[in-house]
Each structure stands twice: as structure tokens, then as C-alpha cells.
Chains A and B, each alone.
Chain A
């Protein structure tokens, strides 16, 4: 990123210091409501990492990896996809439709069709804003926001209408029992590792890791990724090279939507095993923060997703054992986003001064 800074400072030290700063300010906020910050940190860490909590932490992390990768891929083509929420929601509908349409005999087949449905529906929901951007120049930020709202309304309608199970709850019928995905407990059990039986983390976590690897290959090793990055840096250069802006916009958004959609495999198919209202729970938006903080690099996205997973689970624990309102954790998340996203120069500029001076002294 910066030519004058050593890589470890640019990609390691600066994010860590910004994070520390965000936590320090969060600590002050915690103090202001009469709580002990040290105690809060202890509770959060314990909540996120105890045998019960880690299963939830990894479950949330999985969501954030998918939505973070989705935003990151689009970012490389300079497209700001903030429609992860809607794309993941619609993917849930897709997963529910195929799960309920057939009595799947085994989870492995159910996983394959579930992944296909999730990716197809997520991509389809991203395709319309992508087309409007590519063909008509409608700004993708606006259209993806609108499509989030449309998705919410559509899912709401489906769950009190055509897809509603018998009863009064707005949710779909349960999926076939044989289609249930192996949980982390089961998978780790194959290797003789103990894991909490009731934890929601499931096989999707490993799919998320594979997705991160595939995204890395896509962006840095393939010709398509090369074209996406070229387009992202300069549309004029892309046109000069014969790269079609229309094509790249569509492809980048389809991949992005499919990645957002993958989240439904984790939540709808892997955990709830039915479609419920609000299945996405804001993970689409957290994906934006994850991609920002992870500098749109798959490794950064993994780390940032894990951090947000810890915050989400640890935050739930705060509410449970200390009675600190859930909004508090939103404040902390917001501070992290603010510091890493827009206040990074607070740390970067002094670091540049220090390291460039040191560099000059050495040379």
C-alpha cells in the first residue's frame, strides 16, 4: 500500500495499533456506564472462547467470512456491494426451496444442492443491480440498498404466505432430517476431537476457508482477477486493454452475490434447518466492515471476520452475565469500524514519520 513503509508495519502494526486505539476508546465508554473495562474484556474473551462460546464464535465468523469476501471481491473491481444482506436473505429462500422440494437422502447431496441454490439465488439477487449499473449507470450503492429492502419485504411475504409452515409463526417447515449438515461436533468427532454438541458451527466453516483460498486465487492468480483489478484501478485503462466494463461489472457482482449467498448454507441449512425471519441478522453489513478492515485481502478478511465473530459472541455474553445492553457491543463495533476505516491516519501518519525517519537514518 505504502511505498515507504515496511510491509509488517503497513499490514501488521498499523491495524493492531488502530485496533488498540479503538479498544481504548471503547474502554472509556464502558467506564462511563459504570463498568470495569478489564472485567468486560475478561467476560468477552471467556464468552467467546469457552467450550460453548467458541462454537458460536466460529459460527458467526463463518457468516462474516462469506459476506466479507463478497464485499472484498466487488471492491477489487471498484464496486461497492452493500447488498450482502439481501443477497444472503434471498439465498436462504433458495436453500429452503430446494431443501423442501425433495426428501434428500444424505447430507452430502443436500450440501451440494444447498450450495448451488445459495450461490444461484445470491448471485441472481446481485445480478439486477449489477445489470442496472453496467447498462444504465444506476449507482450500485443505491440499488443494492433498495434490493436489501425489497428482499426483506419479499421474505416476510413468503414466510407468512406461500412458504409458511402450519401454525402461526412466520417460518418455513423444517428441512428433511437426513439433509442436516454435520456440525462441528460431528466433524471434529471424526478426528477424535471433543467439541460442544450444541454449538451451531458446522461444516460451512470449512467451506468458508476454502472460499477464502479460491478468492485469493481468483484475484491474484487468474486472468479474470487481473481484469477485475485493472478495471477497479482505472476503467479507462480497462477499455484500452479491451476489457469490457459491462462484463466485469456483471461477473464481479455475480461472484460477490454468490459469496454472500453462501452464508445461507451456514445459517439456514446448517443451523436453523428451516427458513426464519431475519436469518441474516446484519451479517451482510458487518461484511463491509470486515472487508474494509481486512483491506479486501482474503487473509485480512479471515482475521477481521474472526475478530467480529469474537465481538458478536463475547457481546452476547456481556449482556447475559453483566447485564450490559447489546447496543454496547454495537458501539464497540462502530468504534472499530470508525478507527480502522476512517481514522486510520491517526496512526498511519505518526508511523510514517517514525519509520521513514528511521529508514533515512539507516541509509
Chain B
């Protein structure tokens, strides 16, 4: 499947930076990679797209020595190379920036950069050398970071730069980035792409794993599509389109936009007034937040992760406590103190699809029929006599929900952890939406969900809105906020930084608000 076209116009006879030949890898019965061959030209930016579980990360982990391939071989710069662990990878000039950063929080930038690459018994000489090198890299690639700042004090955007610096300090010629923009503001993402282009101009080879098609179109020279462990397509980026890539990923035509009727707003259902939250460390996470939520609208809350959206959802859902302020439901105050109980919230007509379905929304070792009643398990229909559960009804109910929400495989006895991300999310959605709540709180509805399932989930949310329900949507995916919301609030540092209507704004303006800049104030 490897082809010369993906060298994206580079005609020189230089050996490709990376050549994977017939890589296969199975985990138990799951074939994560099937006979994959791929070539990345030296000095190119190459994208790998695919749904969750398509095998992208496995392939890159094989290249970086985390996993050993069952069969196949690797050539780096034309030389057959055996990579047994990350040391071999680094020696071969490969650096990797993981989705979840591998940094020591209470170390400085400099200490993190030399970690594992210290020379000699004392740190002094290594630190001095690294300081000089960091200065040079910063000038060359727009990679400026304060070398003496602690990791915990700098933003995720800067933390990511530290990861890149770590790789460059180890003389990486090939850089692999796994979902690099997941935690960045649009502005930070743009900066990252500038850095990547600079690196490319200096002859470095870059591989980006992502599920965001727009990024692929923006920054890559060539792109490979993976589906179910196979590489279905490798093509020069300028000869393809997002629609084509989506089709190659999913195996069928995908609707990238949401079909939505114009909004018909009803009366106010929920009022949030002056809500503030201070965490256990005394840090204010939510600062005097007020808004109203009306029947028949989707109110989207945009923002980079960690700017108070989670706390807001938790307080309204009865999980977290507010330090001040109140929430009114149909004009009546609900308990936002630490005595609040999530079960009582459900009785008030508030359902909640939590941001973290692994930790909160589902009990992973529970069977589906146990999960489809979770949180409602004390409701009369799920209860038997003497404190027993009505397991017969729970199973029947689960079977029906699985059918209506097309949850696959439709086996109520299967435990939650055995489902794909999209199907897990559908289990949560089926449970919460089918209670027919007045207000649905929904956090990161499509995080870790396949494109095919995203379409379905978005449609369910819109249907609920069209049925006259109020929806509070929190998402870090700006695309999703823009596609679904009837009104957008942008949060930054615990404050509502601005309110916009989706038709009157654009990504640039929202991005500035997300970064704490008020574009109107500047004028």
C-alpha cells in the first residue's frame, strides 16, 4: 500500500525518513494493526487520521518502541532498524509527544528537559548545557519557554512546547505528535502549527496523529487514513478533502454538519445567579457566573478545559458544592451546598451526561443492564420488594434502550468496558435522555467517540431540544459548540468572558475569548 505519491512532490532521491513494512500487531483476539506499510518522506509533515481504536496510536507506539510488532519491519532513513524500547527510538532520532504529557509537575522546565539525559554525577554541567541549547532552540523555532518556570505553573500550551523541546534536545529528527491540539486553544494550536512548519523547514520529519480533519488539511503534506487496523488510504493532502477523508475513516458518507431547525425558545427553565466555587486548595474555580437557560434551546459553553466548566456542571448536577450563589429550577432554588444529592436533582428534572464517562457516567465493570439504570436504580420501576432490585425489568429496559439507541453489540450482559467509546456514550445518553428531563446537562458529548456515532449523538441532542427541552452543552471542541449551540457562552478562568450567537461570531473571535481576551474591549 505504500506509494511514492505520498512523498508530496519531493523528487529527490533521499531515502524516506520512515518506512514501515507489513506491520501487524494483535492484542489477544483484537487485530490492532493489519499488515500496515507506510512511507514518510524526509522533511514532510504527515498526518494519520482514523477513528478511536483504528490503530493509529498502536502503530506509532510500535515505531516508538512501546509495543513490539508481531511481524513487519521498520526502516529509518533507509536503514533497517530494530526498536525494542524508547531508548532505541531516541537513538534512531525519533521523539514522541504524547497526548498526556510525561512531565514532572514540580520540576522546572530545564530539569524536565534533561530528565533521563543527565550526564555525570552532578546536575550542574547538564543544566548549563541544556540552558544554552534551549536558548538556541527557542530562537530558531519560536519555542520560547522560561527555563526556570515550574511545569505546574505554566499553561498546557507551554507544557507541550517543553515536550517538543525534550525531543529536540535529544536530537530528534523525526517527531511524532499524538493528538497534539486536544488541550489547546485555537490560538495555541496555530502557534503549534507555526512551530511545526519551522521544524519542517529545518528538515525535520513530523508525524501527527489526530482525529481533527481540519488540522490535517491545514498543516500536513500527506495523510494516511486508518480504519479497523488497516491503512485504507495514503494521499497527498492537497488532492483530498475533509469529506473524502471522513468517508475513508468511517467507510461511508458522513454528515459533517448538523441538521437543525431554527430555534424556538420558550420560557426560562433554569436560572444561575452569581455562582462561585472555591476548591479545596482555596483557588476560585468559578467566579460569579450567571445565566438563564430556556426551553427549546441549546446553550453551549465553550472554553479550554479547566476554566470552570466542569465545576459549573458539577454544581448544577448536585455533585459539587458552590461557595456562593444560587440555581433556580422553575423559579425554585435547588440545593447547591455540599449536602446536595444527585439523585434528588434527577427528581427535579435535571439529567446529566457527565464529561468523564469512565469515572462517572458508567461503572466500567458493571453490565449494561446495571448501567442503564445507574442513578435511577431506586426509582419504583427498577425496585423490587425488600430492597431487592427488579433485575428482570432492568434487563428488559436495557435491551430496549440498546435497540433504540443502536448500541452495539446489543447484549445487556456485556460489561461497559467492552464497548467502544461511542457505544459507551450511547449507553449514558440513552439512560439520561429517556428520562425525558426538563434540563439536560451534557459535558463533552463526543469525546473519544467515532465520527459515525458523533452524527447520531448530535442528532439526539437536537431532537431533545426540538422537543422543547433545555440543554446545557459543555464542550472543548469549538466545532461542536458552533454546530449545535443556539447561544454560546465562553468561559475563561472561571468567568463568563462573553456571550455570542453562533451566526454572529466566528472561530477567531471565540478563540480570543477562550484565551481571556475581549475583542470588543480592544476596539
Contact = CB atoms under 8 A, between A and B. Distances in A.
Interface of A: 3-4, 217, 221-224, 226-227, 229-230, 233-234, 236-237, 239-244, 356, 359-360, 363
Contacts of A222: 386-389
B389 A234 contact: no
A356 B342 contact: no
Contact of A4 (B29, B356, B374, B388): B29
Interface of B: 28-29, 317-319, 341-346, 352, 354, 356, 359-366, 370, 374-375, 377-378, 382-383, 386-389, 391, 415, 418
Given A237-B361, A240-B360, A242-B346, A223 B377 contact: yes
Given A221-B391, A242-B318, A356-B29, A230 B363 contact: yes
Contacts, number: 77
A236 B28 contact: no
Contacts of A242: 318, 341-346, 375
7 contacts: A4-B28, A221-B388, A227-B377, A229-B366, A234-B359, A234-B360, A241-B375
B363 A237 contact: yes
Main secondary structure of the interface of B (DSSP, over half): mixed
B342 A226 contact: no
Nearest to A238: B363
Ordered nearest first, which 4 A-B pairs have the shortest CB separation? A242-B343, A242-B342, A241-B375, A240-B360
Contact of A234 (B28, B363, B391): B363
Contacts of A241: 342-343, 374-375, 377
Given A234-B359, A236-B360, 8 more contacts: A222-B387, A222-B388, A229-B363, A237-B362, A242-B341, A242-B342, A242-B344, A242-B375
A360 B343 CA distance: 45
A174 to B, nearest CB: 40
Nearest to A360: B29
Given A234-B364, A237-B361, A356 B28 contact: yes
A244 B341 contact: yes
Nearest to B374: A241
A242 B377 CA distance: 10
Nearest to A218: B387
Contacts of B361: 237, 240
Contacts of B365: 233
A237 B29 CA distance: 30
A234 B370 CA distance: 14
Contacts of A237: 359-363, 374
B342 A239 contact: yes
Nearest to B382: A223
Nearest to A2: B28
A226 to B, nearest CB: 6
Nearest to A227: B377
B473 to A, nearest CB: 18
B101 to A, nearest CB: 23
A359 B377 CA distance: 37
A226 B366 CA distance: 10
A223 B387 contact: yes
